[in-house]
Amino acid sequence: MEQMSKNIGFQLKRFRSLRGLSLDDVAKATGVSKAQLAQIEKGEPNPTVSTIWKIATGLKVSFSTLMQPSKECFQKYGANSESPAVEEDGKYRVYSIVPYDPKRGWELYKVEIDPGVIHKSEAHPEGVEETITVIKGQAVIQCGDMKEVLNEGETLIFSGHQSHQYENLTKDITMLYLIIQYQ
């Protein structure tokens, strides 16, 4: 939540500056007090969803735009900064590293697969492509009638518009990077 507050504060200040608006101007446009806006710009409070909506509506920007981190120089993400999404009784873990951005058109995940686990994935929409690089261990990727064994350091690219699966046949954890490209 702390990072989200910083992001909202940064974006609020950026839009205010770009448009040459004072805090008074933004307060009038949004219905949020000048004092609260000043605190939000400092990243101090955790604004409520309704407050974020008021600011977004008043500035005529999307809700999600206000929550985005600064992209002016660079962005830094951590592989284990968030709790993973888990399946297969916790034996298949997915960490979001770089979230989806429509301008970029892709997202990056780190996946950990425990020994002996097979994870089946539903088909994605037509035009979705997956790129998998094994960073530790070995993975067997099956997509349609195709089946490929990937060793450490190897990369496989395939169309994800049909059901597919990831399998770890080894006795150790397999780790891989997964890029999902949307076209």
Taking residues 3-22, report their average pLDDT: 86
6 close to 66: Cβ distance less than 8 angstroms = no
Cα dihedral: 5, 10, 13, 17 (round 10): -170
Domain with 48, as residue range(s), is: 2-66
Shared domain for 102 and 58, answered yes or no, is no
Taking residues 159-164, report their average pLDDT: 90
Q: Could you tell me if residue 80 is inside a domain?
A: no
Residue 149: give its domain's CATH number.
2.60.120.10
Shared domain for 94 and 153, answered yes or no, is yes
The predicted structure's pLDDT at residue 74: 61
Q: How many domains does the chain divide into?
A: 2
Is the pLDDT at 166 greater than 90, yes or no? yes
Shared domain for 123 and 150, answered yes or no, is yes
Shared domain for 11 and 46, answered yes or no, is yes
Please, where are the H alpha helices in 31-140? 34-41, 49-59, 63-66
Is the pLDDT at 143 greater than 70, yes or no? yes
Nearest to 139 by CA among 122, 108, 114: 114
160 close to 130: Cβ distance less than 8 angstroms = yes
Q: Could you tell me if residue 118 is inside a domain?
A: yes
Whole-model pTM over 0.75 = no
